Structures are given as C-alpha cells and as structure tokens.
C-alpha cells in the first residue's frame, strides 16, 4: 500500500529581486558626479534597474543619449567583475570588482578635461 501526500496550499510566487545600487555605492558614484558637474562636464543623470542589471547613466545634456553608463551586473561578479563603465559608443572602458578602481577611468578623463 502506497501513501500519497497532497498539498492543499498553493505555491507562493516570489517576486524577482531587482538589482540596485547600495547607499555606499551611490555615495562613491555621486561624489564623482558632483565633481564633474562642478567642472562643467556633466549635467544630468538617470538610474534604472532590472532583475539582472542596475545602470547609472550620465548625460552631458538632458535630451541626449548618455555619455557614460556605470553598470552593476552581479552575475558577472566572479567572471569579469560586477562593475563596468561603458562609453556612448558601447565600448567598455573598464571592468572590475572594485567600484572606485573602475571609476578611476572617468577620473582620468576629468583631469584631461580640466587641464586641457
């Protein structure tokens, strides 16, 4: 004789988690953003997030495409690094596991813009 167990409760659907920036990550990004705004290089930003990626977009003017995108992809954490900086043309400027190190590529561009 076999016993069959039947569940009367319905399986709960779990909402997919959304990738977003942590407060400490935003502090680092907004610090750089503030310096670039003061230098007159950047004017606006936008933040978007989904299940796989969080994007901080940087604009020179409000009505155009982003000049740079700072992306956070947790699935790439053990491969290429969780963070990447991508230029307007889609070129990946820097990838890595440490946000400050990845953002250094934009710091160098600020030094060139101010001194040049």
Instruction: Report pLDDT for 109.
Output: 66
CA dihedral 50, 69, 91, 100 (to 10 degrees): -110
CA dihedral over 18, 96, 92, 41, signed as positive or negative: positive
Instruction: Report pLDDT for 10.
Output: 66
pLDDT tens digits for 74-98?
888 888 889 999 999 999 999 999 9
Q: How far apart are CA 46 and CA 56, in angstroms?
A: 6
Confirm if 42 and 58 have CB atoms less than 8 A apart: yes
What is the per-residue DSSP string for 89-100? TS-EEEEES-HH
Instruction: Report pLDDT for 91.
Output: 94
Helices within 10-98 (DSSP H only): 23-38
| Phi, psi of 55, deg, nearest 5 | -125, 130
The structure tokens listed for 80 are 């290429």
Instruction: Report pLDDT for 107.
Output: 83
Q: How far apart are CA 67 and CA 101, in angstroms?
A: 19
- Across the chain, which has 116 residues, the per-10-residue mean pLDDT values are 67 72 95 92 92 94 86 88 93 94 84 56
Instruction: Report pLDDT for 90.
Output: 92
* Token pair 């997919």 in the structure block, residue: 16
Instruction: Report pLDDT for 3.
Output: 72
């Amino acid at each position: 004789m076999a016993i069959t167990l039947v569940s009367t409760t319905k399986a709960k659907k779990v909402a997919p988690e959304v990738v977003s920036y942590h407060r400490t990550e935003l502090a680092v990004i907004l610090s750089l953003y503030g310096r670039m705004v003061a230098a007159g290089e950047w004017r606006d930003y936008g933040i978007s997030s989904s299940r796989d990626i969080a994007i901080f977009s940087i604009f020179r003017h409000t009505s155009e495409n982003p000049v740079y995108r700072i992306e956070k992809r947790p699935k790439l954490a053990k491969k290429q690094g969780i963070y990447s900086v991508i230029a307007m043309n889609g070129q990946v400027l820097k990838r890595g596991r440490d946000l400050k190190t990845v953002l250094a590529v934009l710091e160098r561009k600020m030094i060139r813009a101010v001194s040049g």
